[in-house]
């Protein structure tokens, strides 16, 4: 298992992505041109954008020393983490920082101790109201809206005792997935095929597996973000209410940097660029997909992705590195299909007619949440990297692609 953790002395320091034993590819140019698919004007780029960059060759890998001393919680964060749950109905106003936040994530951010099932239950029963109306957990809030919140409760503490045989196996499975862990944070290498949260007919998922990690106070580790069921790789978990509140805020303010690797049909031109569209959910009796929408369409949200071609296999396939600036459902999958370079093995968005999968490659989604870099709640930076899953490693071997030669995009533009 590939593992990379960097903890720096200052939360403002950015991770440099050093990995041991990695040969650097020289002469890898990073163009400053924007994607031709968008036809974007130069003045669209915000002042925070920076061109793609690669780590300077020849520098030795760096590893952070283990944290030797706990830092005290910041006073403001401590107050937030100890904020009691409401015991009676209350009405709160959506702040500017919470604008465009989903209802379920709004509740997670305000009350990190709530379980996913409890959030879904109060929303489904209509106990939570937005401007006096029922809301769906996936509805997005607007600044200034009034949200009626019913009395809330934490899950009952689990009785201390010996784990059952099934629970012991689950705990062992979580340990085998672990890329990084400390008192506040857990980063898992989620395997392809394992769902992050439950759904219709879903009996095993990460949120359910985390039940075996409840502490003496009954607190269960909490999901901070999500990745698709068939996507493998880095999944960030908060082990405390304090960490959940901090990390949820980091995602909301886009302080987290996520890098994905994918194998796509054809070779994108230009070989690096920016994809910017609006996405809206389209539901049918059989399936739900994200479609490209127009600004102003009902339910449409802006989505931005940066991509760069890392290596190619003739003109039929390309290994691309992807950086989502926003975090919309199926964003990378919909965006790559939009520019006519769908991700190999994608059952929802691969729409190329008469396209044959090269011999030996498995018809499974070739998408990996390769790396996550995010400020640690107590200072420093978490920097974790996941290895290629078995089906992608098999494809890389068959195509002669060398994962150990290249880093993900390190300094992709920001918005």
Q: Are strands 367-375 and 232-238 parallel, antiparallel or unpaired?
A: parallel
- Catalytic residues, which ones? 228
Q: How far apart are CA 13 and CA 54, in angstroms?
A: 17
Q: Which of 191, 197, 200, 199 is nearest to 210 (CA)?
A: 197
Q: Which residues of 191-218 are buried (b: 16+ CB within 10 A; e: fewer)?
A: ebebbbebeeeeeebbbbbbebbbeeee
Q: How far apart are CA 181 and CA 361, in angstroms?
A: 33
Biggest CA-to-CA distance, the chain: 64
Beta bridge partners of 307: 273, 322
Peptide bond into 104 cis (omega under 30): no
Q: Which residues of 161-182 are buried (b: 16+ CB within 10 A; e: fewer)?
A: eeeeeeeeebeeebeebebbbb
| Rg of the chain (C-alpha set) | 22
Q: Give me 319's structure tokens.
A: 């290994």
- Number of Cβ atoms within 10 Å of the Cβ of 189: 23
Q: Which of 77, 131, 138, 74 is nearest to 106 (CA)?
A: 138
Q: In which residue are the tokens 């607007």 written?
A: 142
Residue 230 has, within 13 A of its CA and on its CB side, a CA count of 16
């Amino acid at each position: 298992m590939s593992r990379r953790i960097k903890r720096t002395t200052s939360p403002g320091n950015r991770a440099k992505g050093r990995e041991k034993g990695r040969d650097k590819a020289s002469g890898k140019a990073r163009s400053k041109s924007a994607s031709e698919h968008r036809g974007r004007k130069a003045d669209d780029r915000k002042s925070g954008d920076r061109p793609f960059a690669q780590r300077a060759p020849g520098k030795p890998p760096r590893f952070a020393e283990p944290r030797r001393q706990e830092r005290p919680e910041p006073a403001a964060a401590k107050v937030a983490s100890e904020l009691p749950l409401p015991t009676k109905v209350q009405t709160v106003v959506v702040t500017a920082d919470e604008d465009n936040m989903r209802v379920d994530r709004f509740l997670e951010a305000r009350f990190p101790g709530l379980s996913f099932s409890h959030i879904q239950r109060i929303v489904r029963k209509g106990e939570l109201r937005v401007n006096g109306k029922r809301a769906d957990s996936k509805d997005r809030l607007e600044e200034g809206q009034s949200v009626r919140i019913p009395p809330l409760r934490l899950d009952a503490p689990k009785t201390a005792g010996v784990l059952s045989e099934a629970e012991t196996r689950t705990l062992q499975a979580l340990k085998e997935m672990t890329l990084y862990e400390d008192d506040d944070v857990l980063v898992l290498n989620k395997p392809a095929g394992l769902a992050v949260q439950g759904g219709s007919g879903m009996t095993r998922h990460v949120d359910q597996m985390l039940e075996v990690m409840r502490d003496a106070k009954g607190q269960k580790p909490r999901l901070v973000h999500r990745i698709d069921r068939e996507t493998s790789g880095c999944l960030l978990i908060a082990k405390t209410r304090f960490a959940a509140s901090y990390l949820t805020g980091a995602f909301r303010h886009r302080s987290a940097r996520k890098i994905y690797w994918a194998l796509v049909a054809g070779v994108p031109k230009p070989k690096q660029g920016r994809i910017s569209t609006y996405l809206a959910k389209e539901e049918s009796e059989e399936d739900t997909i994200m479609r490209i929408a127009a600004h102003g369409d009902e339910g449409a949200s802006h989505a931005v992705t940066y991509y760069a071609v890392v290596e190619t296999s003739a003109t039929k396939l390309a290994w691309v590195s992807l950086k989502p600036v926003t975090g919309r459902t199926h964003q990378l999958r919909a965006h790559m299909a939009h520019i006519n370079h769908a991700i190999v093995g994608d059952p929802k968005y691969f729409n190329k007619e008469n396209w044959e999968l090269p011999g030996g490659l498995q018809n499974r989604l070739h998408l990996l949440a390769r790396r996550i870099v995010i400020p640690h709640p107590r200072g420093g930076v978490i920097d974790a990297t996941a290895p290629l899953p078995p089906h992608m490693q098999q494809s890389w071997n068959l195509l002669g692609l060398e994962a150990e030669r290249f880093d993900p995009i390190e300094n992709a533009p920001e918005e």
